[in-house]
Structure 1
Amino acid sequence: MKIEFDGNQPIVDAAQIAPLLDLDVVGFQILMQSGKIATGVERGSGADAGKLRLTFQSPDWRVRLTCGLDGTVLTTTRLRVPGTAR
């Protein structure tokens, strides 16, 4: 997986992230538009300089992508949000 950039802003394809949150693309888009998926971008410093961490948190899952500056996803972490076990 590779993240694209528009200037300094990461652009993520919903079709790549939705399955990681146990959603289809339409469900992902609805939750994003309603503000029920929180997102975050952290830029590394020190030992992590040159890396970027993107976080997506739905009501059920938290997904973190650690990327190189070229957008290549280096690691993917997926955790169920506490209290949401099915």
Structure 2
Amino acid sequence: MQVEVGADGIVVDAELLAEAFGIAPSMVHPGMKSGDITSLCEKGEGSDAGRWRLTFYHAGRAFRLTIDDTGQVLRRTRFDAPRPGRAT
């Protein structure tokens, strides 16, 4: 399982995020709990209906997944980005 879409929401495998940010998988949950890793989830509309864009932020980097309603990863992107709402 890399991404799972269910009735309770979307779950992303910690190993996937750890690999994207170059951290240990055991650091993902604590990082999210402390706010060191943040996320943004956007639901597609119109021609993008049935897709989701999940963006994770950590240490000045972003990792974005575009998925379909089944959780299949359609696109992965990594880029430099400050966390939303924070001045650089």
- Please report the RMSD computed on the Cα atoms of aligned residues, expressed in angstroms: 1.7
Letter in 2 for 1:6: G
SS at match of 2:47: helix
Shift of 1:68: 0.8
Contact kept, 8 Å, 1:60 with 1:80, in 2: the verdict is: yes
> 2:65 aligns to what?
65
Q: 4+ runs of 1 displaced by more than 4 Å?
A: none
Q: Deviations over 1:27-86 (max 9, x none)?
A: 22221121111111111001111101111001231011000111100000100236xxxx
Contact kept, 8 Å, 1:52 with 1:68, in 2: the verdict is: yes
Deviates further, 21-30 or 45-54: 21-30
> 1:46 aligns to what?
46
Q: Which residues in structure 2 correspond to 1:4-83 (within 5 Å)?
A: 4-81=4-81
Letter in 2 for 1:12: V
Q: Provide TM-score, normalisation by structure 2.
A: 0.82
Shift of 1:25: 0.9
SS at match of 1:30: helix
Q: Kindly, what percent of the aligned residue pairs are identical? A: 35
SS at match of 1:47: helix
Stretches of structure 1 that go unaligned for 5 or more consecutive residues are none
Q: Provide TM-score, normalisation by structure 1.
A: 0.83
Deviates further, 23-32 or 45-54: 23-32
Contact kept, 8 Å, 2:2 with 2:13, in 1: the verdict is: no
Aligned residues: 82
